[in-house]
Homo-oligomer: A and B are copies of this chain.
């Protein structure tokens, strides 16, 4: 039995310390970290990984792709898959910016209160990596997803990117640009799920607007730094009842995210064929909760 060896390919100059610590706590016995990874380097890394151990030991080696830029991570993941040679392959996981594990934790939290199929959801500040991953997963679960942004072009760009990822099997997300309180009130009409995924310390949904939107059943705020993204939600909230909705704060979701993150690392070493992106990590998270 070979040592469990994780190769961290990070698109940022300094490989994430957060990801390194989680990796070793999740059971990676050896961790080789590379920062500033460029797509053209990936083939060499993959060949180094698949040509050193016998085929029967390939499940002891895996690659974790991280960094703050999810698009860069997606390109690295794609290049890694193309570098495999037949059965000479190893398991891969993408979690740039923590987007996949955070989005999975958010969606699982929502699902625990509500059947998503056919529901209307809005992701405020939804054009960043986590917001786009949340939209993607909500669509996969049968919800209608709107990506909110105060900048029209960014909302449209994010929707196009998510639509390209989910393909034609599900309806695409809708861009939802807004500027005024009136826009917000109109936009929330009939919405049952609200996720706030904007920048730290910016309140996107005021208490007044939240209370006025009677249809909201679940609200998730992914911002841990005060003030809250959704006014009235506290970081430790976990399905707390608030004005008729069940609300989740960033630290509560973060706790579940950590469990999913660690379980995903452990999963990598169970076979040499896993490719863990948004959907696979959501499924894995669901199996933990079950």
Contacts and interface: CB of A to CB of B under 8 A. Distances in A.
B48 A16 contact: yes
Given A25-B52, A52-B22, A17 B45 contact: yes
A18 B5 CA distance: 12
Contact of A21 (B24, B25, B31, B52): B52
A14 B30 contact: no
Interface residues of A, number: 31
A218 B239 CA distance: 69
Interface in A231-260: 254, 258
A17 B7 CA distance: 9
A205 to B, nearest CB: 25
Contact of A5 (B14, B21, B34, B61): B21
Contact of A25 (B2, B24, B25, B51): B2
A44 B10 CA distance: 15
A84 B20 CA distance: 19
Contacts of A30: 24, 31
Interface of A: 2-3, 5, 7, 14, 16-22, 24-25, 30-34, 41, 44-45, 47-49, 51-53, 61, 254, 258
